[in-house]
Amino acid sequence: MTFLQTLLSFLAALTLLIFVHEMGHYLVARWCGVKVLRFSIGFGRPLARWTVGADRTEWTLSAIPLGGYVRMLDEREQPTEAIPPQDLPRAFTRQPLSKRALIVAAGPAANFLLAILLYALLNAIGAQEPAARMDAPTVGSAAAVAGVRAGDVVVAADGREVRSWNELRLRLIDAVIERRAAPLEIERDGMRQTVSLDAARLPEGEVERDFTGTLGLALAPGRVDISTVLPEGAAARAGLRPGDEVVAVDGVPVARAVELIEAIRARPGAELRVDVRRGEDALRIAVVPDAQPSDRPDEAGKTIGRIGAGVANRVQMVEVRYGPVEAVQRSMVHTWDMSVFSLRMLGKMLVGELSWRNLSGPVAIADYAGQSARVGWHAYLSFLALISISLGVLNLLPIPVLDGGHLVYYGLEAVRGRPLSERFLEVTQKAGLVVIAAMMVLALFNDLTRLIG
């Protein structure tokens, strides 16, 4: 079931993003008066096809779903004499340079527009996210050196507002990539102050892992809750219920789930006085942990206590939601930020400052699609927006055969005042295919390495 969900989530995402990209080309081509012959989702043998409109445009779903194309009337693909005279003015090659550039740029622009709309929708609906309240940093970490303390709430990072833990991570990405210090504005005991968090000494490639943990930043544990209660366990016999907040054990305050677990393990068969908060009520419940043999290899033969309940830390949550206008504004800024971030990552990979292991292919994207779909629709829409941005950025790279490569051609044509030679186009497009193939092989290798490693 998990594999099927991953596959369906991946195919749905891919189909939507390709459709939006090609629809950008299609709509602007029609607006510019160009005749469209085929709109295809996928490459290779058509699995389904139908024709629509006065131009008898062919719409197809093809066998290889890793892309798509819009085929327009083009004198380079068929002899001029084979084109009806009345259609010649509608050929793509007969359009002025400005229209051709507009048609080519419309595909990536559609992907960016989709990301803006998705982020705006998510911003307007809102979501519960972990608050940016910090736990005590690890000794010697960048956060400890900066002076971050347990209970500090980060309200701004690198000069920009922070409303949640997720926003804090996003605000620190630039500093991590650039290996520099970032100012953190924190709220402590009702007062605000600024500290400097230095990311200069992070190991190479840390941006692809949990850089917040390496910096010493971690969420405050929040409250300790009873998450599940087994019907035959000591917790059930004592009267503990799912949702109870554990405040203290034998008068000792409990701040983390692991503290409660260790207290229970250490007292097999002995009564524990567990202070809990249930709604508005404060209760003291006597629990006698069952004595059971430990299942840890380093504790062979040792008896420990268990109560037959699951416990979990519930971090403080905040609702992040914006009004309609601010939702759109923030979505545009976020789309721009992520586009620039993607380009900077590619640039640093090209010059060797970041590992090419950061490049992901279809296997990793499918995995992320499945994971986000299992989390919920909010995570899945965020995933769609991010991949849509990546698709738009990728297509704008100045590589022949991509939209960005064609825009470079048109720029050269504008400078020269005449079209580029067919030989030049042929050679550079072959070189572009080699570059794209190499990137795909490398991305697939990275995917397989992550899968098996």
Does the annotation mark 22 as catalytic? yes
Q: Contact 81/62 with Cβ under 8 angstroms?
A: no
Compute φ and ψ for 128, nearest 5 degrees: -85, 120
Measured over the CA atoms of residue 109, residue 112, residue 114 and residue 116, the dihedral's sign is negative
Which of these, 109, 106, 37, 31, lies nearest to 70 by C-alpha position?
37
In 315-446, the DSSP E strands lie at: 317-320
CB atoms within 10 A of CB 417: 6
Instruction: State whether residue 378 is helix, strand or coil.
Output: helix
- Helices 403-416 and 422-452, packing angle to 10 deg: 160
The rounded radius of gyration (Å) of the Cα atoms in the chain is: 29
Structure tokens at 274: 């567990």
Residue with tokens 């996003």: 170
Choice among 22, 167, 185, 206 that is catalytic: 22
For Cα atoms 16, 22, 24, give the angle at the middle one, nearest 5 degrees.
105
Measured over the CA atoms of residue 89, residue 91, residue 94 and residue 99, the dihedral's sign is positive
Residue with tokens 């990301």: 115
Q: Which residues does the annotation mark as catalytic?
A: 22
